[in-house]
Amino acid sequence: MVKRSNKPEIWSLPGGLVELGETQQNAAIREVQEETNANIRIIKFLENLDIIIKDEKSQIKRHYILAVFGGEYINGNIIAGDDAIDARWLAIQDISSINMTTGTAQFIMKYRK
């Protein structure tokens, strides 16, 4: 898990934008490495999530499409990097007690296998 520097005290899963010419899987691997110093291997695609943000007039302001993958830790000491101010492993039983981005705890519980 990473605590973002642009939203202090909010934890989320590592992630970010796909760079030009990069596959979604390679972007996921790169983002995890940049934000946590962990090297991972993608095991499987989990799902696409649509995040639609509207303004005060209910007009769509932003539409994010998240490609979510399940991965396996290979190596690397977990440290905050890139746009994170903290990075760490969290126990499943601690997930509900921390301030996370909307829907993240439910998503983790859904795919915790």
User: DSSP string covering 48-95, please?
Assistant: EEEEEEE-TTS-EEEEEEEEEEEEEEEE------TTEEEE----GGGG
Q: Which long-range contacts (CB under 8 A, 24 or more apart) does 86-90 make?
A: 86/2, 86/3, 87/1, 87/2, 87/3, 87/14, 87/35, 87/36, 87/37, 88/1, 89/1, 90/1, 90/11
Which pLDDT band, with edges at 50, 70 and 90, does 113 fall under?
Answer: low
Question: What is d(CA 98, CA 10) in angstroms, rounded to the nearest whole number?
Answer: 8
**pLDDT over threshold 80, residue 7:** no
48, two tokens: 């696409």
Domain of residue 60 covers 2-110
State the CATH number of the domain containing residue 80: 3.90.79.10
72, two tokens: 């396996």
Tally the domains of the chain: 1
* Average pLDDT value for the chain: 91
**Residue 89: half-sphere exposure toward Cβ, Cα within 13 Å:** 7
Of 105 and 60, more confident: 60
CB count in 10 Å sphere of residue 67: 16
SS3 of residue 103 by DSSP: coil
pTM reported for the whole predicted model: 0.85
